[in-house]
Amino acid sequence: MKRQIQRRPATRRRPAVKQKRRLSFGVLALTVACAAIVAGGLFTVAVQHFASMDLGMQNSQLRKQVEDLEAEKRRLLLAKEVTLSPGEIKRTALRLGFGEVEAVPMVTAVKQAAAPEPRVETAAQFSTAEAQPTAVKLAAKKQTGEVTRTVSAEPARKRVAKTTTAAVSLKKEQPVQTAESRPRRVADSKPVSTAAVAKLR
């Protein structure tokens, strides 16, 4: 027997197909949208992840830079202190040929109870050959700074000429040390490096 294929009318087929197509499109669109969202999220996460990694690296580099700069600052401070230390200044001065002059102590004038009225001379008078002061003592005048001498009337004695200044001064002297024995040199234009300081240990 022939099977009768009943055909549906064409008009009946179209709504189902339409609906199927609509559904497929919707599902597809939804899928695409979800995929896009997921992809977008993944992309955002990836960007943030790598950005945070990058930030972390920059942070670490900056932190290291700060530490390095602080360490360098300390080293420079150390080099500065070494250069400015009194011992180093003295060594440099000696190397340059300066010497140290001893201060001459000032002795207070003591008035003898039995001594007659003293005769006061100025420094100019004293420098003449005729003047032969004997027991001379020096006294400093506060107001004028003039040095005067009080000369006693005791019998004359030969006076040994000596300086009267009490100031400590530096004067240029011939270097007294040989190249082998002179103190440690300091570089003229650059500070002492910490390596030099390290070698002290």
Partner 1 sequence: MFIVAILVLWIGGVGARLVYLQVEMHEELREKAVGQRRDVKKTKQLRGTIYDRNERALAISVRVKTLFADATKIEDADQTAKKLAKTLGLDEKKLRKQLKEAVSLERKFVPIAKGLDDVEAAEINSKLETAGLKKADLPRYPGLHWRDDQKRSYPNGELAAHVVGFSNAEGVGQAGIEQSQNDGLFGAVIKKTQERDRLGRIYDEVVAEQEAPNDVMLTIDSAIQYTAEEALAKAVRASNAKAGMAIVINNRTGEVLAMANYPTFDPNKLGGITADNLTNRAVQSMYSPGSVFKLITYGAALEKGLIKPEARLNTGNGTVQVANRTFRDSKALGETNYIKAMAVSSNVGAIRTAMRVGKEDFHAAMLNFGLGTKTGIELPAETAGVVRPTERWFGDSLASMAIGYEIGVSALQMATAFATIANDGVRIQPHIIKEIRQSDETPVSATRPEKHRVVSVETARDLRTMLREVVISGTGKQAQVNGYEVAGKTGTAWKFDEKLKRVNAAKYISSFIGFAPANDPELTIAVVIDEPKTGGRGGGAVAAPVFREIAEQVLPNMGIRPGQTLPVDQLYAGPVAMDEIPESVGNGELAPEGDPGTDARPEALIPDPIERDRKATAAVMLTRTPQKDEPRPKKKTERAAPSNEVTRKRIETENRN
> Which residues lie near partner 1 (CB under 8 A)?
52-54, 56-57, 59-60, 63, 67-68, 71-72, 74-75, 77-78, 81-82, 84-87, 103, 105-111, 113, 139-142, 166, 168, 193-195, 197-198, 200-201
Query: CB of residue 20 vs partner 1: minimum separation in angstroms?
Result: 28
Nearer to partner 1, 29 or 170 (CB): 170
Query: CB of residue 76 vs partner 1: minimum separation in angstroms?
Result: 10
What is the rounded distance in angstroms from the CA atom of residue 59 to the CA atom of residue 13?
67
- 10 Å CB burial of residue 74 (0-12, 13-18, 19+) is exposed
Residue 140, strand partner residues: 147
Nearer to partner 1, 171 or 201 (CB): 201
Nearer to partner 1, 32 or 110 (CB): 110
- 10 Å CB burial of residue 66 (0-12, 13-18, 19+) is exposed
What is the rounded distance in angstroms from the CA atom of residue 147 to the CA atom of residue 167?
13
Give how far the C-alpha of residue 30 lies from the chain's centroid of Cα atoms, to the nearest Å.
68
Query: CB of residue 195 vs partner 1: minimum separation in angstroms?
Result: 6
Nearer to partner 1, 54 or 154 (CB): 54
Q: Position 55: which residue type?
A: L
Query: CB of residue 146 vs partner 1: minimum separation in angstroms?
Result: 12
Nearer to partner 1, 26 or 56 (CB): 56
- In a 13 Å sphere around the CA of 140, the CA atoms on its Cβ side amount to 9
Query: CB of residue 68 vs partner 1: minimum separation in angstroms?
Result: 7
